[in-house]
Chains A and B, each alone.
Chain A
């Protein structure tokens, strides 16, 4: 007799939703990409996962051993049941006395109790160790992913959507984790159960055995097909649900825009379309699932009915005993569940194959920016920065040069300001110094050492960049300020935040420096975030500090005060300021006006004003934003 189909449905569907393997368009695209990569790579992926599993030999051995014992014990149960039934018949047939028959029942009963309990224990061990192997592999993969993600260079992260990377590290990892328990162990279990079971039944009675097994191929086939179909639908459904989620999320986040335009009706249409789209597929899922499972149940019962009918006739004919018939029926019950799960196993294969390919694709990714084999620690002496004929193009953009022949140098204590229209390459210059990207031509030298020849760790300790879009980690304000120096004393943190004009604001917060900020914490305004980033940088002891448009959201007066504080900090460093507010940069020792990747003007504020060139035009524009100056600023039309 079968367990009700709904258990399986729930299990199968929830198995899907827990161990989903892709969310979002790009992931789907990459799964198509995996398909194109061919079976050879798929096979090597599976082998690689298997090898990872085998790195836990004890648990693997225990899982496999337990599985084998559990299968054999399970196969004993129908036989014991059959024997017990026969035992009762012997007494009725008058072969032995009633007491003797009663006595004889104890043996199969106790054996059954023992076999059943032991089977439970070994199944427990099987499942536990199989899962343990998976969890250990997941743990190793987690660390590997985390390490890789942290080290992959900026150009990789520019290219790959962060959502896809997160999906990779969560869902694909799960697909690989499940491989051992849902695929390898289940494969062993099924092979043994069906193989030995079939042998036992067919050797007992070939005809009845074959009939009893007749449902196996049909159910195995239907179950595999259904699972693979459901997998496709499921992936599609996740995609549609994420579209629906996005519609809702954007509506709520942009609710002011929606209300401002009285666009509620339009938004409802958008929602309704996305919602119906998903619902249709959810129904389709039911439509694929239900007929197939019902058909599988029917096939099973049909075979059972045949066994019962033909079995009864055989009993009547005296060919088999009632006990043997019972044994056949019990066998079928035992086989039913595992056979229906063949689909899950096939699904597990498919998942491990796509998820594994994606995951290993990440892990095998080359880290383009890393220490050269001959790299030596950076030695800071005078603290001179020098750009020598530097050119740069972003990887994958062909040869569209962002920077061309940039040459300048700066000594300790000097401040260099970089200014220019949007897209001129100012920020790119800042990103080359700590080697976020490598130059494509020329060299950048620090105290005469090519930055590509020194270790990344020492280089990045020597160069600090205050980024434009500050990232706050979800932790306290003080931990955020001390991000680059997590050993810092509270006093230093406070001093840094005083310099960044943030101290008073922080003291006004209910939890002061212990206030949690970041994605899930209190929200700070753009200016406050930028000030926090400045404070974060002032905790470091860099030789070169770069402000990459880091004060755009800070009001001019506060910026003045920050600048005064920075001046002390900048005394024995090279300071590079990228900004568009002229008041931010007019005190620099040298100003570089960059356009189209080239330095077009250079000099002090006074010198550049006297030149009456592009800088002067920008200066006038900021004082008097009128149309007529536009042409001068943009360059000749």
Chain B
């Protein structure tokens, strides 16, 4: 292949000249394994656990399905009866016509009722199970540790919650129908052999032929279908990229190159789809040919049996009806194989998520942290690492007194964010104790702890919805006045009032229609409404325009009023405003005290401060490093 390609380029230098070596549009997604083993007992058992609550429905629908299949089998037999008994050349039997008509009416009514019941039950049950699985996963994800969430891309979890649960849904629906398919297949075989063994046997002999063709065809066809799906997602991805990146594309004048490259992909997509269409359609004449063959056999063999007086003509008619049907179950049963494989692969991924251990749990005798607690925070000899062998906090001890504001300062990677996460018990310390309000956080219920700690994260994350809903967030009992009051306190009220719908302005995805500074202010207001004794804040590092920066500084002061504050500070203004400063380096507390005291000490803090950057994060690694290296050498 590669050689052919190279020679093409040689013979057509002009064509290769139009496609630059470093240009691509769209990208190939690394697909997860789509198909697993067709049958995995463990996974079936897990899926069954979700079906169990509906097992009465499942049993009822299988029963209805069998009744339905039974009537399907019965109808040709009734036709046969009518033809053979009512209108034999020997004589006319009007009562038989009436009996046949009555039986037929009964059969179709039962058929109707069974189909109705079974399809409704299966359809609803499968939907219920789908939503149940999704719900179980969602609940589980609310509890698993943050380190799992940090490691796992949101997109990946979303494809669990959407794609994978859907393939389980499909599997459930089709597997119940498969029961019907199998019943129908064996039913037809049984009836045909029972009515006339040799004729039935001869006719059924085309079945293995179809089965074999399907088995040969299936993997190839599946490959073709998957190739088509793949190229389709590639072109769609390329289109999405062109739309999202259109401003860059236009400013770099890449339209023509991109169009050529896109044309290549679109054309590849066209080709794979045509191939897939060929694979899909090639089965049509095969099935039709085999149907014709089976009919021909019935006519020749069955016909001469009739002529010789062996059977009645009704048998022939009934057989013709059965032949038109008996390829369907084979078709859907072989398709079911792919569905099962896909479901097993999905089921594996779902159970992987459901089996993630929940590390942080309330103790059975966990206590509720009363809102009246003093609001102190204390670290007692805390050692912690995301991996036990690599501690990011080493034997850290400090205390934040009620109402005090403490700034945590230190170079990137010094353990500031980890300390903050421990206060809220996002993780458990390996050694030592984290105390809030005088209680070990592990002895408290997570919910009551969370209610007393408000957190403001570096990246202000806002939800879709109105500004009002975002400020109120989970405090659904907060009044409008309280929300507006909070916005006023943090200085967000003015800009909110200048928006088209004020507090009812719908935020775009992630609050995209607000600037970073504005989002920051909204997140401050949200923390204020949460009304907690302790405020933990991770200051934003990105540089914000000076005016908004000033608003934020003011808001911060308001926010910390009357609360215990633990602030990961980057800006000098914030740091200077703190009651006390704790300097962390390499996971250890190396200096503590207020600004003046630390300056007098002449340690890392004074050194960093004297470099005269407006933010500690501006300090280049080299300048903060010498002490760091010295520390690690000892």
Contacts and interface: CB of A to CB of B under 8 A. Distances in A.
The 4 A-B residue pairs whose C-beta atoms are closest, nearest first, are: A262-B450, A116-B292, A120-B288, A120-B285
Given A139-B267, A261-B530, A291-B116, A149 B288 contact: no
A287 B142 contact: no
B207 interface: no
Given A6-B177, A142-B266, A294-B119, 14 more contacts: A7-B332, A81-B320, A88-B306, A131-B273, A142-B239, A150-B259, A162-B240, A259-B146, A263-B473, A309-B100, A316-B86, A316-B94, A436-B247, A557-B618
B473 A149 contact: no
Given A333-B324, A460-B251, A279 B127 contact: yes
11 contacts: A117-B285, A143-B263, A157-B243, A250-B464, A254-B463, A262-B451, A316-B86, A436-B247, A484-B252, A484-B254, A555-B617
Contacts of B155: 520
Interface string B146-162: 10010000110110011
B42 interface: no
Contact of A271 (B138, B177, B457): B138
A470 B247 CA distance: 10
Given A85-B317, A261-B454, A457-B253, A139 B269 contact: yes
Contacts of B620: 555, 557-558
Contacts of B86: 312, 315-316
B613 interface: yes
Contact of B243 (A9, A128, A166, A478): A166
Contacts of A267: 142, 474
Contacts of B72: 1, 4
B115 A5 contact: yes
A175 to B, nearest CB: 15
A502 B258 CA distance: 26
Nearest to B84: A322
A289 B83 CA distance: 35
A315 B87 contact: yes
Contacts of A552: 542-544
A120 B253 contact: no
Interface string B452-467: 0111010001011000
B154 A252 contact: yes
B138 A248 contact: yes
Most chain A CB neighbours (cut-off 10 Å) among B317, B526, B613: B317
Q: Which of A98, A255, A293 has the most CB of B within 10 A?
A: A255
B383 interface: no
Contacts of A622: 546, 614
A260 interface: yes
B15 to A, nearest CB: 15
Given A268-B139, A618-B546, A625 B573 contact: yes
B122 to A, nearest CB: 8
Contacts of A88: 303, 306-307, 313, 316
A101 B285 contact: no
Contacts of B239: 142, 145-146, 149, 166, 169-170
Interface stretch (A193-201, A295-303, A566-574): A295-303
Contacts, number: 462
B295 A309 contact: no
B316 A250 contact: no
B519 to A, nearest CB: 12
Contacts of B241: 473-474, 519
Contact of B97 (A117, A136, A146, A316): A316
Given A294-B119, A487-B20, A301 B550 contact: no
Interface stretch (A183-191, A323-331, A347-355, A409-417): A323-331
A465 to B, nearest CB: 5
A222 interface: no
B104 interface: yes
Interface stretch (B21-29, B33-41, B371-379, B402-410): B21-29
B79 interface: yes
Interface stretch (B4-12, B274-282, B561-569): B274-282
B606 interface: no
B94 A257 contact: no
B548 A422 contact: yes
Interface string B309-329: 100010011001100110010
A556 B614 contact: yes
A479 B21 CA distance: 9
A101 B266 CA distance: 60
A252 B149 contact: yes
Given A139-B270, A290-B116, A471-B244, A112 B253 contact: no
Interface in B540-560: 542-550, 553-554
B115 A297 contact: yes
A483 B241 CA distance: 14
A135 B274 contact: yes
A526 B251 contact: no
Given A119-B288, A483-B252, A330 B295 contact: no
Given A555-B618, A633-B547, A283 B284 contact: no
A221 interface: no
B497 to A, nearest CB: 15
Contacts of B92: 316
A154 B248 CA distance: 11
Interface in B233-274: 235-255, 257-259, 262-263, 266-267, 269-270, 273-274
Nearest to A582: B546
B551 to A, nearest CB: 9
A499 B28 CA distance: 31
A434 interface: yes
B627 interface: no
Nearest to A584: B543
Interface in B136-183: 138-139, 141-143, 146, 149, 154-155, 157-158, 161-162, 173-174, 177, 180
